[in-house]
């Protein structure tokens, strides 16, 4: 396989997307986490801390300033005021207060359950459904459906807004997501994600066809400098980014698009969407990273988390599950086959 190392952080998307539930933090091992603690490192001197937090996350400056006033922000272990000026290398910690969290409520909604036992379940999340509630989006989420389906049988590790959620996928990405019913299962599954023994594969349809039909994509992923709603790629090791590694393999191509399998080695926000853009072949329909390209009759990225594999926390047996790609990708595959 060929390694594609990042040499530029050029950005060309003019799209927009509702990311009201897309605030994602990272743990000390660089994995995505739904914990409420965010850690950042200052890259320059003199910037106000509320401005820095707003530029580095999807929080507004006003919200960041309020967090400072509530004692939720520290610099090098000391509480910071909203007008605190940063020095290069300062370590910033932001803690979201419990007062910002409300109880998610059960809702009777269709739920496609692929696997279920006393410890966990795996669902096939439909495209367009947000995983968990967030400010401005408290109902109609997967968590609301899970609370109705599972009643009180969900792990409480991630709090009242994200019960049972071990990992997540984007709103407009269809596919498999594992849910823990108790803290024992949650801790065991989280450890598998941390140690990369949790397998995740995706199918995507990309604009054009990569020159190399298979390879490994590697870069740092962090917030885009010119738009805090987006992620961007940077050289691996860039401060305030996390290393992202994916393998890809072109399965079919034709009609100006290609059907591609991605295997994740890390789980970063928008990882496949960013890696595809980095190759110069964004995901078809992607409102954030595809620029002004033809959406080809679909709304949202043509991306499905079709495969998940893990060791069952209690039995120790390997479980591998798959789902279909969904109507959007099927339609695009038909286009490939008609035009080859």
Partners of 308 in beta bridges: 200, 321
Can you read off the two tokens belonging to residue 30? 């660089």
**Cα distance between residue 165 and residue 162, in whole Å:** 6
SS (H, E, C) 56-100: HCCCCHHHHHHHHHCCCEEECCEECCCCCECCCCCEEEEECCHHH
Quick check: is 170 catalytic? yes
- Rounded Cα gap, residues 120 and 185, in angstroms: 7
- Cβ atoms of 104 and 164 closer than 8 Å: no
DSSP codes joined into one string, 225-242: TTEEEEEEEE-TT-TT-E
CA distance 153 to 49: 40
Residue among 114, 147, 113, 143 nearest 130 (CA): 143
Q: What share of the chain is helix, strand, coil (3-state, %, to 5)?
A: 20, 30, 50
Reduced to 3 states (helix: H, G, I; strand: E, B; else coil), residue 223 is strand
State the Cα–Cα distance between residues 306 and 175, nearest whole angstrom.
Answer: 6
| Active-site residue, from 58, 90, 124, 170 | 170
Instruction: Give the length of the chain.
Output: 340
Angle between helix axes 61-69 and 49-56 (nearest 10 degrees) is: 130
Burial class for 100, CB neighbours closer than 10 Å (0-12, 13-18, 19+): middle
Residue 247: exposure state from Cβ atoms within 10 A (0-12, 13-18, ≥19): middle
Give the residue numbers marked as catalytic: 170
């Amino acid at each position: 396989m060929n390694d594609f190392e990042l040499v530029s952080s050029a950005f060309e998307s003019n799209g927009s997307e509702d990311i009201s539930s897309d605030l994602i933090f990272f743990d000390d091992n660089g994995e995505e986490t739904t914990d409420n603690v965010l850690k950042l490192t200052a890259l320059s001197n003199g910037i106000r801390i509320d401005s820095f937090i707003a530029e580095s996350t999807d929080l507004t400056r006003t919200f960041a300033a309020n967090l400072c006033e509530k004692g939720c922000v520290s610099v090098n272990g000391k509480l910071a005021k909203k007008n605190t000026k940063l020095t290069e290398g300062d370590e910033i910690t932001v803690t979201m207060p419990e007062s910002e969290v409300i109880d998610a409520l059960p809702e009777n909604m269709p739920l496609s359950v692929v696997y279920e036992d006393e410890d966990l379940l795996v669902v096939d999340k439909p495209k367009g459904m947000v995983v968990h509630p967030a400010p401005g989006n408290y109902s109609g989420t997967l968590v609301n459906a899970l609370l109705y389906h599972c009643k009180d049988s969900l792990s409480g590790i991630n709090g009242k807004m994200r019960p049972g959620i071990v990992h997540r996928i984007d709103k407009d990405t269809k596919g498999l997501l594992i849910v823990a019913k108790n803290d024992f299962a949650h801790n065991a599954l989280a450890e598998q994600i941390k140690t990369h023994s949790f397998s995740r594969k995706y199918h995507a349809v990309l604009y054009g066809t990569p020159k190399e039909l298979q390879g490994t994509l590697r870069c740092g992923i962090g917030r885009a400098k010119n738009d805090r709603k987006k992620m961007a790629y940077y050289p691996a090791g860039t401060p305030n980014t996390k290393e992202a590694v994916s393998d890809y393999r072109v399965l079919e191509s034709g009609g100006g698009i290609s059907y591609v399998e991605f295997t994740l080695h890390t789980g970063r926000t928008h990882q496949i969407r960013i890696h595809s853009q980095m190759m110069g072949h964004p995901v078809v329909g992607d409102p954030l990273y595809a620029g002004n390209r033809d959406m080809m009759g679909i709304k949202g990225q043509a991306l499905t988390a079709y495969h998940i594999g893990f060791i069952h926390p209690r039995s120790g047996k390997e479980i591998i599950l798959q789902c279909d790609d969904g109507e959007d990708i099927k339609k695009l595959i038909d286009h490939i086959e008609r035009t080859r």
